Amino acid sequence: MHEQRRFLLDEARAVEPVKNTLRLTWEFMVLNKKFTLTALSLLLLLNILTTFLGIIGMVLSGIFSLTIQIYLSKLVYFTQDIEEFVAQTKASKIEEAVSRNSFIASGAYIAWIILFVLLLFILGSIVKNSGVPLENIKSVEELIPVAKILFLPIVILTLLVSYIRPLVQSNIALAENFLEGFFAPFTIFSPSLWQSSFKNSYPKYIFIIIGLTFLGGLLLGIFVSLPFINMLASFIVVVAMYGYMVLISVVAMMGRRMVES
């Protein structure tokens, strides 16, 4: 339906898609400094509120993060060329992003919470059926057998989710209301979605992105642990979080375009 309107992603994926993904991520962050600084300020505020409000602050932060991702994903997906992308990026406003997408983001966030609870239930069942006497655990050291049992399932699950999540995220981004936003995360179980994920250059592209993300997270962890960085650690983490939000938004739609073609 929108074939004629996606020339930006067609050009971006044709040559050096990873490089172009990083380029679009960077350009969105720097072309509209007001949008970026406002988003960072709100994320930092919500991060602080989480300390005092607990789960309420966490929920608000999660919904706001998804709202920004949905807005940017749509911008990238429906933009014709780099000139239009630059123009729309410069014209972007936080209030517009929130007003358009907050209900969609709320539906998706609730669904992710349900899936997370389901995951905890499954992992709990694995530990329960392993024969480890959880009722006798009284110290951190006694949790080591549990960690050994869960290590492999968690690693495999993390890789699988990381692989398919961009396509799931693209379904969330293209949702048009609360209910569509709610059901979009459950497409992680869709056989057709998994089948499409092996098309074209998607696997190679995603594994490179996963590798870069892991490396970036590792370097961030080392950086914020430096003694003279500790006082700025919270701000640096928020900046990194925002950068990742923008990155995954571009990756989601780039990946979708790959499997559609």
Please write the tens of the pLDDT for every residue from 59-77.
Answer: 888 999 999 999 999 999 9
- Residue 141 has what pLDDT? 62
Location of structure tokens 């209030």: 95
Give the pLDDT confidence score for residue 3 in this predicted structure. Answer: 46
Q: Are the beta carbons of 236 and 47 closer than 8 angstroms?
A: no
Q: Considering the chain, what percentage of its residues have pLDDT values greater than 70?
A: 89
Question: Which domain covers residue 216, as residue numbers?
Answer: 3-260
In this prediction the pTM is: 0.87
**Separation CA 192–CA 196 (nearest Å):** 6
Return the closest-CA partner of residue 163 out of 127, 121, 197, 129: 197
- Domains in the chain, number: 1
Q: State the Cα–Cα distance between residues 77 and 51, nearest whole angstrom.
A: 36
The total of other beta-carbon atoms located within 10 Å of residue 49's CB is 15
pLDDT of residue 46: 86
pLDDT at 239 over 60: yes
C-beta atoms surrounding 114 within 10 Å? 13
CB 90 within 8 A of CB 14: no
| pLDDT beyond 80 at 38 | yes
Burial of residue 168 (CB within 10 Å: 0-12, 13-18, 19+) is buried
Side-chain-side CA neighbours of residue 124 (13 Å): 6
Q: What is the pLDDT of residues 107-134, one digit of tens each?
A: 999 999 999 999 888 877 776 776 655 5
The pLDDT-based confidence of 31 (bands split at 50, 70, 90) is very high
Count the neighbouring beta carbons within 10 Å of the beta carbon of residue 133.
8
